[in-house]
Structure 1
Amino acid sequence: MCDDWDDNPVVVASPVETPKWCSSQNDEVWGGDPATFINSSRTRTNRGGQGGFQNRDNRWGGGGGGSRGRGGGRQSDRGGERQNWRGEGGRSEKCQELRVPSRYVGKVIGRGGSKIGELQLESGARINVTKESDGDTTLVQLFGSEEAVAKAKQLIEELTTDTIKIGGDPPQPKLEDHGVQQQEEPKEIVDWQSFLKKCEDAEKAEWSKYPEIQKQFYEEHPNVTAMTDEEVEAFREQNNNIVVDRTFKTENSKPIPKPCPEFYYAFHQYPEILEEIKKVGFEKPSPIQAQAWPVLLSGEDLIGIAQTGTGKTLAFLLPALIHIDGQLGRREDRGGPAVLVMAPTRELALQIDKEVKKYQYRGITSICIYGGGSRRDQVKVVTQGVDIVIATPGRLNDLVAAGHLDVRPVTYVVLDEADRMLDMGFEPQIRKIMYAIRPTRQTVMTSATWPPGVRRLADSYMCDPVQVYVGTLDLAATHTVTQVIQLLEDNDDVKMQALMEFARNLSPDEKVIVFCGRKARADELASELVLNGISCQTMHGDRDQSDREQALLDIADGTVQILIATDLASRGLDIDDITHVVNYDFPRNIEEYVHRVGRTGRAGKYGESISYFTRGDWGQAKELISILEEAQQYVPEELHDMAERFEKMKDRREKEGGSRGRGGGRFRGGGGRRW
């Protein structure tokens, strides 16, 4: 097997020296360069071939057999003197055979022979991969000096992970292949209870380094104390049916504080807060504020469930200001913010930040961090020190992971619009942040709905929370909005004509948000309005953050009367003087309808929503009727007919699907699935 040259080699890569092209008559030869094939010419080179792929034999070859050169271990034309592959006559050449696992042969050869060429260059040996294989292993021959062969063997062994057996016999099967069980090492028994206790002790030791959290800042006003249970219930019922309860009631649960019908009753100890409220011009607390303030000032965790535009932001903001000022030690020495507010979208985060800046209380500072804003500027502010951080979960995790923001000093956490954050897939980011904050924090969660995901989040991170919900846990639109349903043909021209007519009849003091289902549709509507001499702005995810902020400023200050938006603006957009909402495209689910409608009729004002409803929206008719009836709105008879027809169509399809049996499918002959 170990002659100087194998009669039927499989692989021999180029020798150590830099290869040159070789050619032989009427053959297509690949020599040296592993990436190129060339057609042979009739010229002959002065040097012999240095390994090539001969198309005629479809094989890797080890030497081209030139007339005078150092030809691959063949006899030269100068006589019978035997030469090795380096063309050095008279020196003995060693041959050694290896068995390489067949699955590694390609790895040894490399793409176009590149790897085997590297091995030869590094070792100085010639490597020949033969066709001899028993299925599991393949025979590889090594030629050269003893040192070169040993080096090549070492390199190949390092390249392959299986044990390589020297000689012609394949490797013996492992013991487990014969069913012989190897002796297992005894498994260590883990005392998980002890391990968990050590973790808890270590966590307590870590958090003990921080000052104790101060939570109690409430002293009940005598007039509130004097309210009887009947008066409390009457107040709650008259104020949009406030319902208060312990979400996860236990035997040790404390009594729930009574509501505060007046601002003074809640903040009589804090005249500066009362002065700031007076500057804003509010006359009395909203229902959720009246009940939430005494709960939060008492240090309780709170779940506030109410529709948009009901004052939830101020409900958690004013207690947060008092909470920050009441903590032990100087604010400059805390090493991080005391209050963290997480919001689902940058628009809502910016809106909360804007609300915070309305109330100047003892030099408390805030920053809004969100994706799309200047990261460098945000890092600069948080590293200098700030009291309140309002953030979207993505950018918040980014700054925390990078070490720019330390959330361990946080003592008051708000998850605003928690249901929307879960809908957007932020639960992992929320959990990661909450894990990094001390467990004795005070936690506030607001939501427009109470789905299982929000309940699960509350169960994980809140301590015996008080749940305050205004109205009903069932989905409902705000009662300060007149809801109008216009039944139109499912035709863009008809809808566009209706929108144009509405826009031309707007009064100078009216403002409108037009909601579309797609970003491209929003741009189309804006173009049509501008071409007809009606100025407007657009807001959707494809616009730069600066453009979106400018659009909000333009609609807020009256530069334009019409804002065309996608559902990006359906939550958290707080512009008090929006008079109308137009649902140009009816939303895909009824929850978004409720949130869109909530963009008007805010802060005690009244508004109007107009929805273009077509045949393509009939799947939403039944739920829409429930919303309209709950708010005591007019329901067109055609909408009832549409809902009935849709339900009949569903029943018919279900029956047809059941009667097809195993044939399944829409057409005869089976096929299974219905589309």
Structure 2
Amino acid sequence: MASKLKVENWDVLDWRQQPRRPFKRSFLPFDPDAVESSGGVAKVAKRRRSLGIESIEDPAGEDTTVPPLQNFRDLKDTLPEWLLQALQNQPPSPLQAQLLPIVLAGSNAVAVASDIPAGQEALSYLVMAAMQAGDQHKLSEEEPGPIALVLTATQDSAASVATCAMGLLRSSGRGGKTLRAVNLSGGGSRADKLREMTSCGSHIVIGTPKRIHDLASKYQVCLLRVTLLVLDGVDRMRSLDHLPEIRDLATWTRPERQTLLLSRAWGPELQELASELCLPGGEPAGPQRLEATGVAEFSMSLNRNDIGDVGVTHLAEGLKKQRALNSQFEGKQLACVVELDLSCNPVRDQGAQALANAAMACLGSDSVRFEALWGVEEVFLWDTGITDRGRDALQGAVASRATLAMEAALALRKSDELIEKVRVKRRRRPKALQVHGLELKDPIAEQLRSDADTELQVPMVTALGVLELS
């Protein structure tokens, strides 16, 4: 039977047209009192230091980061019993104690630990892989796996991760669904590995970037259901020149996936890679592809995912980084999230403020000159916990973006150079910000937004005649 999930050519994969089902990303609901109930900021910080964790760089602030685990039973209300039993014979390592609750909360994360061999902290992400795989609909020939893709630098690391995964999943059948992990690198022929995968795929696939890239580029492995991407030992992958394959593989997996990077060292190149891979809804495409296709726009739906203020703050920070990265490419425009649906989530005023700040990150002369994308244009916030304080912050963002849109519209009408830039160089036509679901009531800002959008839609008379913006 033909697969419903298929792509004719990876080079022209358009995620806006690719069918896919929603997935649950957050299994550990945000608890605003978690730090306080664990003894306060000072006590939690002291526990982190005792674990050897030097710093936490959290866009929402270290005081909102989930406290480290004391033991795996701390997750008794989150993990199924079979998974807790698989973990009970060992205490969490220092890295697992802090990283696992962050990952289970649905966040992207980067962990740097200089003295830990690649593959030795696999539980930090395999638990989340099991949770996502267990929550999603079953694998089939029409919708094959994997759900989680784990990339390692070497075959030995892949073997270590696979051993850990198979041990963890051994009793998964007790939860009603038997989960499988397959190592596609290492011993055995390629044919044997693919037979082990079966026509339905595997829930977790492990391998080196070059091996997975080779199989995927030949359509022998389908990556369209991957919702968790892990790079374990990304510093070693860089030294082995695997970054081109990693970037390709990232574009071949769902843009709204969760991403986790583990590294023994850090630096500007890896930081840039992390920014690309962790952009919410963004596709890390290179400048050459942009030359041919222009701007890729994404709609990102995260409704009903138990995403609270911490998750939204991380998301907003990613949106700002997305725009900052775009502005570094000398006028070339990268992929961009333009619609964001956070309805039916426990988002409150802190999250609303973060979204407002992200929406206003575009304010500046480069936006009026169409040198960089503006970022998100429509936000859906039905059935959230946002009060007047959060509404006021978003209303301010709406008014600021409306003013910017009108400035851009007027500049566009007065400049043949800008018209040519939009038409020939395919700069994206700007739009103001709309917020749905909160009944924002600022008639002046709304009228300004409407006028600006109308102004930007009409034909423009220039020395060349009439140019229709499309």
TM-score (norm 2): 0.51
- The answer to whether the 8 Å contact 2:183/2:206 transfers is yes
Could you say which residue in structure 2 is the equivalent of 1:381?
Answer: 196
Could you say which residue in structure 2 is the equivalent of 1:226?
Answer: 37
- The answer to whether the 8 Å contact 1:419/1:451 transfers is no
Determine if the alignment matches structure 1 residue 449 to structure 2 residue 265. yes
Could you say which residue in structure 2 is the equivalent of 1:277?
Answer: 87
Q: Which runs of 5+ in 2 are unaligned?
A: 1-11, 281-310, 315-470
Could you say which residue in structure 2 is the equivalent of 1:212?
Answer: 22
Question: 1:373/1:453 Cα in 2 relative to 1: closer, same or farther (>3 Å)?
Answer: farther
SS in 2 for 1:203: coil
SS in 2 for 1:268: coil
Determine if the alignment matches structure 1 residue 301 to structure 2 residue 108. yes
Could you say which residue in structure 2 is the equivalent of 1:368?
Answer: 183
Shift of 1:336: 2.2
- The answer to whether the 8 Å contact 1:382/1:404 transfers is no
Q: Distance in 2 between matches of 1:257 and 1:460?
A: 25
- The answer to whether the 8 Å contact 1:267/1:273 transfers is no
Question: 1:367/1:414 Cα in 2 relative to 1: closer, same or farther (>3 Å)?
Answer: same
Amino acid at match of 1:275: Q
Question: 1:242/1:445 Cα in 2 relative to 1: closer, same or farther (>3 Å)?
Answer: same
Shift of 1:314: 1.3
- The answer to whether the 8 Å contact 1:288/1:312 transfers is yes
Determine if the alignment matches structure 1 residue 239 to structure 2 residue 51. yes
Could you say which residue in structure 2 is the equivalent of 1:527?
Answer: none
Determine if the alignment matches structure 1 residue 263 to structure 2 residue 56. no
Q: Distance in 2 between matches of 1:451 and 1:336?
A: 33
Amino acid at match of 1:398: D
Shift of 1:454: 1.4
Could you say which residue in structure 2 is the equivalent of 1:203?
Answer: 14
Question: 1:421/1:205 Cα in 2 relative to 1: closer, same or farther (>3 Å)?
Answer: same
Determine if the alignment matches structure 1 residue 326 to structure 2 residue 135. yes
SS in 2 for 1:290: helix
Shift of 1:319: 1.7
SS in 2 for 1:213: coil
Could you say which residue in structure 2 is the equivalent of 1:288?
Answer: 95
- The answer to whether the 8 Å contact 1:371/1:395 transfers is no
Which of 215, 235, 238 is matched with 1:422 structurally? 238
Paired residues, what number? 258
How does 1:445-594 map onto structure 2 within 5 Å? 445-463=261-279
Q: Distance in 2 between matches of 1:314 and 1:388?
A: 13
Could you say which residue in structure 2 is the equivalent of 1:471?
Answer: none
Q: Which runs of 5+ in 1 are unaligned?
A: 1-200, 467-675
Could you say which residue in structure 2 is the equivalent of 1:400?
Answer: 216
How does 1:37-48 map onto structure 2 within 5 Å? none
Question: 1:387/1:254 Cα in 2 relative to 1: closer, same or farther (>3 Å)?
Answer: farther
Q: Distance in 2 between matches of 1:215 and 1:461?
A: 16
- The answer to whether the 8 Å contact 2:108/2:258 transfers is yes
Question: 1:364/1:254 Cα in 2 relative to 1: closer, same or farther (>3 Å)?
Answer: farther
Shift of 1:291: 0.9
Q: Deviations over 1:356-381 (max 9, x none)?
A: 11112241101111266311111223
SS in 2 for 1:331: coil
- The answer to whether the 8 Å contact 1:224/1:265 transfers is no
Question: 1:404/1:338 Cα in 2 relative to 1: closer, same or farther (>3 Å)?
Answer: same
Question: 1:205/1:241 Cα in 2 relative to 1: closer, same or farther (>3 Å)?
Answer: closer
Which of 142, 146, 152 is matched with 1:343 structurally? 152
Could you say which residue in structure 2 is the equivalent of 1:410?
Answer: 226
Question: 1:336/1:203 Cα in 2 relative to 1: closer, same or farther (>3 Å)?
Answer: same
Q: Distance in 2 between matches of 1:374 and 1:225?
A: 54
Q: Distance in 1 between matches of 2:29 and 2:134?
A: 16
Could you say which residue in structure 2 is the equivalent of 1:352?
Answer: 161
Shift of 1:407: 0.5
Q: Deviations over 1:355-408 (max 9, x none)?
A: 111112241101111266311111223342211100111211111121111111
SS in 1 for 2:205: strand
Q: Deviations over 1:604-659 (max 9, x none)?
A: xxxxxxxxxxxxxxxxxxxxxxxxxxxxxxxxxxxxxxxxxxxxxxxxxxxxxxxx
Q: Distance in 2 between matches of 1:211 and 1:267?
A: 28
Q: Distance in 1 between matches of 2:103 and 2:17?
A: 27
Q: Deviations over 1:518-550 (max 9, x none)?
A: xxxxxxxxxxxxxxxxxxxxxxxxxxxxxxxxx
SS in 1 for 2:261: strand
Shift of 1:223: 7.5
Q: Deviations over 1:194-230 (max 9, x none)?
A: xxxxxxx9934324x1001210111478986611112
Question: 1:202/1:305 Cα in 2 relative to 1: closer, same or farther (>3 Å)?
Answer: closer
Q: Deviations over 1:93-151 (max 9, x none)?
A: xxxxxxxxxxxxxxxxxxxxxxxxxxxxxxxxxxxxxxxxxxxxxxxxxxxxxxxxxxx
How does 1:643-654 map onto structure 2 within 5 Å? none
Amino acid at match of 1:300: S
Q: Deviations over 1:459-506 (max 9, x none)?
A: 11113798xxxxxxxxxxxxxxxxxxxxxxxxxxxxxxxxxxxxxxxx
- The answer to whether the 8 Å contact 1:371/1:392 transfers is no
Shift of 1:273: 1.5
- The answer to whether the 8 Å contact 1:383/1:404 transfers is no
Question: 1:375/1:243 Cα in 2 relative to 1: closer, same or farther (>3 Å)?
Answer: same
Q: Deviations over 1:218-262 (max 9, x none)?
A: 14789866111121111111111342113xx489x9942222222
Q: Distance in 1 between matches of 2:161 and 2:262?
A: 13
SS in 1 for 2:122: helix
Q: Distance in 2 between matches of 1:412 and 1:349?
A: 16
Amino acid at match of 1:217: F
Amino acid at match of 1:312: E
How does 1:106-185 map onto structure 2 within 5 Å? none
- The answer to whether the 8 Å contact 2:224/2:254 transfers is yes
Q: Point out the structure with max Rg over C-alpha.
A: 1
Shift of 1:446: 0.3
